[in-house]
Amino acid sequence: MGHRKQFEVSSTRVERTRASNEPDAADKTAPILLVREHPPFLLNGPTSTLCLKDVEDLLSERQRQELVRLFFRFVQPAFPVLRDYAANADSDQENIPEPSCTSLSLSICIYATALPFSIHNDYLNATLTDAHGKREKLYSMAVDAILQELNSPTLETLQACLLLLQKGPTTQHQGLTPTYSCFSSLAVTIAKSLGLQHDCSTWNISPTEKQLRHRLWWATFVHDMWISVDTPGGRAINFQDYDVQLPNSQYGVREAVHDRTNHSHFDCLATLTHLLSQIYETYFTIRASKDMSGDLFRSLEFAKPLRSALNECKQRLKVVMPLTGGGEPGASGSVILASCVTEIILFRALLRPIRSGFSTEALFKDSQMSAAAAVLTGSINCAKETVELLETMVSMVGPWTEFWHSWSQGNFAIVSTFLVQLNMMSDTDSRKAEIADLISRWKRAIRIGAGSGGWGSSLMSMALSRLDALLVPASSAKGP
């Protein structure tokens, strides 16, 4: 018999976990979790030799420590995917975890995510050269390290994957590629394999572990939803897939009082994303699109509770994360822009019956025409609010020194396409003039932000190129 390659079979370990308030009675059955142990997916062969030494060749020990400090100062408050034991690492040197305390993939992703903030550190400014090149090398190493750990994923593997998804596109005018959808689905798969989709509030585990699992699930949910908004592939998480309560829910896992302010930006983002998911379920699945795209009144009826919840969420955002321009750690600009884009997505759903009815206006009754006019007016007001938001942000420094989620680039582009859509649907000279003015102001604000470099340039360049690319065909289609 010839040589035959060996293929290892996954082994599992069975664990039971019992609710902390439940007596250890013999007639009670605790939930069972299956934990994978050393399940190679590929045939046995040579493995990568990636190790900490490769990171040390790029960054000195002092540089790595300073990057960890920057991470907990700028990234953790906005995207709290790490444990809380290091929440005050920027003021306490002893709380900074050593690379040996975490997986290699997570350590690399922490350094890479913090590198854009090196300008806020005197030591890194003086010693760190070719920060962009080193960041790209770190992310390449992170991909290799994550793939090595996928055979037996841990919470740290998921943390690394979520931080890798915050990288943002390398090409400013390209946007998120299908690779992001692939890694987002990978993160969802890891999260589900670790049981994060289950409510752990009654499990017999430490409060710290509960908080971490709770936040990691919602961080995965946030990425899955927002990446699917402007990339192909759709979502990997549906409403029926989990029973984890929202972070600020009375039934959710409660965090310590001193942590609530630190994580308030993320809590608001999770609530907003959950609302966006409801909008998607109502209007944008294949079945929902067929049911709603031709029925204006039905679309408006379903929109009432969604708009009410969205208005309440936006009012809370104004209190929790006002745009003061002070540059406090967080993600005010990214989350507030996301709230405007969520409203835009809702109005895009309401505009579909109107757009399809333009070719058969004779079929529209007076009540339908009145409702259509109201939707167009609301859409224009929504676009105007978003344009004013960007004008406010580019007039101050604070929002651009904060952390921005990678999918924010797609949100800027969504606003551009929405303005073009309104421009094509404008049926009166006054509306055409109003939309033209909004487009002009939006382009001016984008040029200011993109020309400033840094976050602004990387986030808004695609929005400008997409707007210009769409305006020329739109003008040709409408004629003189």
| pLDDT tens digits, one per residue of 389-416 | 999 988 887 678 888 999 998 999 999 9
Q: What is the mean pLDDT of residues 179-201?
A: 92
Q: DSSP alpha helices (H): ranges in 119-249?
A: 122-127, 131-149, 155-164, 178-193, 207-229
Confidence of residue 355 (pLDDT cuts 50, 70, 90): confident
| Range scoring the smallest mean pLDDT among 69-73, 283-287, 290-294 | 290-294
Q: What is the mean pLDDT of residues 77-86?
A: 80
Q: What is the mean pLDDT of residues 443-449?
A: 89
| CB of 228 closer than 8 Å to CB of 181 | yes
User: Residue 195 carries which side chain, given as an amino acid letter?
Assistant: G
pTM: 0.85
13 φ/ψ angles, rounded to the nearest 5 degrees: -120, 130
In which residue are the tokens 């969420």 written? 313
What one-character DSSP code corresponds to residue 118?
Answer: G
Confidence of residue 218 (pLDDT cuts 50, 70, 90): very high
Q: What is the mean pLDDT of residues 14-42?
A: 49
d(Cα 284, Cα 346) in Å, to the nearest integer?
10
Task: State the chain's mean pLDDT as an integer.
Answer: 80
Q: What is the mean pLDDT of residues 169-187?
A: 73
pLDDT computed for residue 162 by the predictor: 97
With 70 as the cut, is the pLDDT of residue 276 above it? yes
378: CB partners within 8 A, 6+ apart: 347, 350
Closest Cα partner for 188 from 151, 253, 238, 244? Answer: 238
Q: What is the mean pLDDT of residues 329-358?
A: 88
| Range scoring the smallest mean pLDDT among 348-357, 451-460, 470-479 | 470-479
With 50 as the cut, is the pLDDT of residue 296 above it? yes
pLDDT computed for residue 332 by the predictor: 86
pLDDT computed for residue 473 by the predictor: 62
With 50 as the cut, is the pLDDT of residue 39 above it? no
Q: What is the mean pLDDT of residues 98-109?
A: 78
> C-alpha distances in angstroms, 473 versus 355, 408, 466?
18, 26, 12
d(Cα 84, Cα 407) in Å, to the nearest integer?
25
Confidence of residue 34 (pLDDT cuts 50, 70, 90): low
| CB of 20 closer than 8 Å to CB of 37 | no
- pLDDT digit string, tens, across residues 302-337: 999 999 999 999 999 988 888 765 556 678 889 999
Burial of 137 (0-12, 13-18, 19+ CB in 10 A): middle
15 φ/ψ angles, rounded to the nearest 5 degrees: -125, 145
pLDDT computed for residue 478 by the predictor: 53
Bridge partner list, 34:
14
pLDDT computed for residue 369 by the predictor: 83
pLDDT computed for residue 461 by the predictor: 80
pLDDT computed for residue 2 by the predictor: 45
| Range scoring the smallest mean pLDDT among 24-38, 78-92, 185-199 | 24-38
For the chain, give the percent of residues with pLDDT over 90: 46
**Highest mean pLDDT of the ranges 99-108, 139-148, 262-271, 318-327:** 139-148
With vertex at residue 271, the alpha carbon angle to CA 265 and CA 275, rounded to the nearest 5 degrees, is 140
- pLDDT digit string, tens, across residues 129-143: 888 889 999 999 999
For the chain, give the percent of residues with pLDDT over 70: 74
| Range scoring the smallest mean pLDDT among 183-187, 325-329, 445-449 | 325-329
pLDDT computed for residue 98 by the predictor: 56
pLDDT computed for residue 295 by the predictor: 86
pLDDT computed for residue 3 by the predictor: 43
